[in-house]
Amino acid sequence: MRRLIGYVPQQLSADSALTGRENVALFARLFDVPRRGRAEQVRLALELVGLADDADRTAKTYSGGMIRRLELAQALVSSPRLLILDEPTIGLDPVARSSVWDRISAIREATGMTVLVTTHYMDEAEQYCDRVALMHAGRIRALGTPAELEAGLGPEATLDDVFRTVTGNRLDHEEGGIRGVRATRRTARRLG
Protein backbone atom coordinates (compact mmCIF):
# COMPACT_ATOMS: atom_id res chain seq x y z
CA MET A 1 0.00 0.00 0.00
CA ARG A 2 2.87 2.36 0.87
CA ARG A 3 4.10 2.31 -2.75
CA LEU A 4 0.71 3.29 -4.13
CA ILE A 5 0.63 6.73 -2.48
CA GLY A 6 3.07 9.60 -2.81
CA TYR A 7 2.82 12.57 -0.47
CA VAL A 8 4.34 16.05 -0.47
CA PRO A 9 3.65 17.84 2.84
CA GLN A 10 3.03 21.56 3.20
CA GLN A 11 6.08 22.03 5.40
CA LEU A 12 9.45 21.53 3.74
CA SER A 13 10.64 18.00 4.45
CA ALA A 14 13.90 17.55 2.57
CA ASP A 15 17.00 17.01 4.70
CA SER A 16 19.23 20.00 3.97
CA ALA A 17 22.41 18.12 4.94
CA LEU A 18 21.84 15.43 2.28
CA THR A 19 22.26 15.76 -1.45
CA GLY A 20 19.24 15.68 -3.69
CA ARG A 21 20.11 12.12 -4.71
CA GLU A 22 20.50 11.03 -1.07
CA ASN A 23 17.13 12.57 -0.15
CA VAL A 24 15.35 10.70 -2.92
CA ALA A 25 17.26 7.46 -2.18
CA LEU A 26 16.14 7.69 1.44
CA PHE A 27 12.51 7.87 0.33
CA ALA A 28 13.07 4.97 -2.07
CA ARG A 29 14.12 2.88 0.91
CA LEU A 30 11.19 4.12 3.02
CA PHE A 31 8.74 3.23 0.24
CA ASP A 32 10.28 -0.24 -0.21
CA VAL A 33 11.45 0.35 -3.76
CA PRO A 34 13.24 -2.92 -4.61
CA ARG A 35 16.99 -2.65 -4.09
CA ARG A 36 17.73 -4.04 -7.54
CA GLY A 37 16.11 -1.08 -9.37
CA ARG A 38 16.42 1.56 -6.66
CA ALA A 39 19.30 3.60 -8.13
CA GLU A 40 17.53 3.75 -11.50
CA GLN A 41 14.24 4.81 -9.88
CA VAL A 42 16.06 7.57 -8.00
CA ARG A 43 17.72 8.75 -11.21
CA LEU A 44 14.41 8.74 -13.09
CA ALA A 45 12.59 10.64 -10.33
CA LEU A 46 15.29 13.33 -10.27
CA GLU A 47 15.24 13.55 -14.05
CA LEU A 48 11.45 13.79 -14.08
CA VAL A 49 11.51 16.90 -11.89
CA GLY A 50 14.47 18.49 -13.65
CA LEU A 51 17.05 17.98 -10.92
CA ALA A 52 19.37 15.45 -12.56
CA ASP A 53 22.15 18.02 -13.02
CA ASP A 54 21.87 19.20 -9.40
CA ALA A 55 21.39 15.78 -7.80
CA ASP A 56 24.78 15.72 -6.07
CA ARG A 57 24.50 19.17 -4.47
CA THR A 58 23.31 19.39 -0.87
CA ALA A 59 19.68 20.39 -0.51
CA LYS A 60 20.67 23.44 1.56
CA THR A 61 22.05 24.98 -1.66
CA TYR A 62 18.72 24.58 -3.48
CA SER A 63 16.24 27.39 -4.08
CA GLY A 64 12.68 27.10 -2.73
CA GLY A 65 11.40 25.91 -6.10
CA MET A 66 14.15 23.30 -6.32
CA ILE A 67 13.29 22.04 -2.82
CA ARG A 68 9.65 21.65 -3.88
CA ARG A 69 10.73 19.72 -6.97
CA LEU A 70 13.02 17.57 -4.79
CA GLU A 71 10.09 16.76 -2.53
CA LEU A 72 8.08 15.88 -5.60
CA ALA A 73 10.87 13.50 -6.67
CA GLN A 74 10.80 11.94 -3.18
CA ALA A 75 7.06 11.33 -3.53
CA LEU A 76 7.40 9.98 -7.08
CA VAL A 77 10.31 7.59 -6.55
CA SER A 78 7.95 4.68 -5.83
CA SER A 79 5.84 5.36 -8.97
CA PRO A 80 2.66 5.92 -6.92
CA ARG A 81 -0.82 5.75 -8.41
CA LEU A 82 -2.05 8.55 -6.14
CA LEU A 83 -0.02 11.68 -5.46
CA ILE A 84 -1.19 13.90 -2.58
CA LEU A 85 0.14 17.46 -2.59
CA ASP A 86 -0.51 19.67 0.43
CA GLU A 87 -0.08 23.30 -0.62
CA PRO A 88 2.68 22.42 -3.11
CA THR A 89 3.44 26.01 -4.14
CA ILE A 90 3.04 27.89 -0.87
CA GLY A 91 5.73 30.51 -0.42
CA LEU A 92 7.05 30.20 -3.96
CA ASP A 93 7.51 33.09 -6.37
CA PRO A 94 5.44 33.07 -9.60
CA VAL A 95 8.25 31.53 -11.68
CA ALA A 96 8.84 28.70 -9.20
CA ARG A 97 5.07 28.13 -8.85
CA SER A 98 4.75 27.79 -12.60
CA SER A 99 7.72 25.43 -12.76
CA VAL A 100 6.28 23.15 -10.08
CA TRP A 101 2.89 23.03 -11.82
CA ASP A 102 4.53 22.37 -15.20
CA ARG A 103 6.29 19.35 -13.68
CA ILE A 104 3.14 18.08 -11.97
CA SER A 105 1.12 18.44 -15.19
CA ALA A 106 3.76 16.66 -17.28
CA ILE A 107 4.03 13.81 -14.78
CA ARG A 108 0.27 13.45 -14.58
CA GLU A 109 -0.05 13.41 -18.36
CA ALA A 110 2.77 10.91 -18.82
CA THR A 111 1.66 8.48 -16.10
CA GLY A 112 -2.10 8.91 -15.76
CA MET A 113 -1.53 9.28 -12.02
CA THR A 114 -4.32 10.70 -9.88
CA VAL A 115 -3.26 13.91 -8.13
CA LEU A 116 -5.06 15.25 -5.06
CA VAL A 117 -4.12 18.84 -4.22
CA THR A 118 -4.94 21.14 -1.35
CA THR A 119 -4.45 24.81 -2.17
CA HIS A 120 -5.66 28.24 -1.18
CA TYR A 121 -4.81 29.56 -4.64
CA MET A 122 -8.06 29.43 -6.57
CA ASP A 123 -6.27 30.33 -9.82
CA GLU A 124 -4.23 27.12 -9.45
CA ALA A 125 -7.34 25.06 -8.77
CA GLU A 126 -9.07 26.58 -11.77
CA GLN A 127 -6.16 26.03 -14.13
CA TYR A 128 -4.85 22.63 -13.03
CA CYS A 129 -7.70 20.70 -11.41
CA ASP A 130 -10.37 18.63 -13.15
CA ARG A 131 -12.63 18.66 -10.09
CA VAL A 132 -12.69 20.97 -7.10
CA ALA A 133 -14.08 20.58 -3.60
CA LEU A 134 -14.30 23.86 -1.71
CA MET A 135 -14.08 23.40 2.05
CA HIS A 136 -14.89 25.74 4.89
CA ALA A 137 -14.90 25.01 8.61
CA GLY A 138 -14.13 21.35 7.95
CA ARG A 139 -16.99 20.72 5.54
CA ILE A 140 -17.23 20.47 1.77
CA ARG A 141 -19.36 23.42 0.68
CA ALA A 142 -19.17 22.99 -3.10
CA LEU A 143 -18.06 20.20 -5.45
CA GLY A 144 -17.71 20.05 -9.22
CA THR A 145 -15.57 21.10 -12.14
CA PRO A 146 -14.29 24.68 -12.01
CA ALA A 147 -16.60 25.55 -14.92
CA GLU A 148 -19.65 24.04 -13.19
CA LEU A 149 -18.97 25.89 -9.95
CA GLU A 150 -18.41 29.19 -11.73
CA ALA A 151 -21.47 28.76 -13.96
CA GLY A 152 -23.61 28.51 -10.83
CA LEU A 153 -22.79 32.16 -10.08
CA GLY A 154 -22.83 33.62 -13.57
CA PRO A 155 -20.76 34.10 -16.73
CA GLU A 156 -18.06 36.32 -15.19
CA ALA A 157 -17.62 34.35 -11.95
CA THR A 158 -14.26 32.98 -10.82
CA LEU A 159 -13.46 30.28 -8.27
CA ASP A 160 -12.53 33.08 -5.87
CA ASP A 161 -16.13 34.34 -6.21
CA VAL A 162 -17.49 30.83 -5.63
CA PHE A 163 -15.32 30.42 -2.55
CA ARG A 164 -16.47 33.75 -1.13
CA THR A 165 -20.09 32.78 -1.76
CA VAL A 166 -19.93 29.32 -0.15
CA THR A 167 -17.98 30.55 2.89
CA GLY A 168 -20.17 33.56 3.50
CA ASN A 169 -17.24 35.86 2.62
CA ARG A 170 -16.04 35.65 6.25
CA LEU A 171 -12.69 34.71 7.74
CA ASP A 172 -14.04 33.88 11.16
CA HIS A 173 -16.65 31.25 11.81
CA GLU A 174 -18.14 29.77 14.93
CA GLU A 175 -16.38 26.48 14.20
CA GLY A 176 -13.13 27.97 12.91
CA GLY A 177 -11.21 31.21 12.82
CA ILE A 178 -8.08 32.09 14.74
CA ARG A 179 -9.64 31.15 18.08
CA GLY A 180 -10.33 27.65 16.79
CA VAL A 181 -6.77 27.34 15.49
CA ARG A 182 -5.35 28.46 18.84
CA ALA A 183 -7.60 26.05 20.74
CA THR A 184 -6.55 23.19 18.48
CA ARG A 185 -2.86 24.03 19.00
CA ARG A 186 -3.30 24.16 22.79
CA THR A 187 -5.00 20.77 22.74
CA ALA A 188 -2.25 19.31 20.53
CA ARG A 189 0.47 20.58 22.89
CA ARG A 190 -1.29 19.01 25.87
CA LEU A 191 -1.63 15.67 24.09
CA GLY A 192 1.91 15.74 22.61
The pLDDT profile of the chain, 192 residues, written as one tens digit per residue, is: 777 898 988 888 899 999 999 999 999 999 889 999 999 999 999 998 889 999 999 999 999 889 989 999 999 999 899 999 999 888 888 888 888 898 889 888 888 899 999 999 999 999 999 999 999 888 999 999 999 999 999 989 999 999 999 988 765 544 555 666 666 667 667 775
Number of domains in the chain: 1
CATH code, 59: 3.40.50.300
pTM for the predicted model, two decimal places: 0.79
**Domain interval for residue 39:** 2-191
How far, in Å, are 137, 164, 179 from residue 16 at the CA level? 35, 39, 34
Residue 180's pLDDT is 62
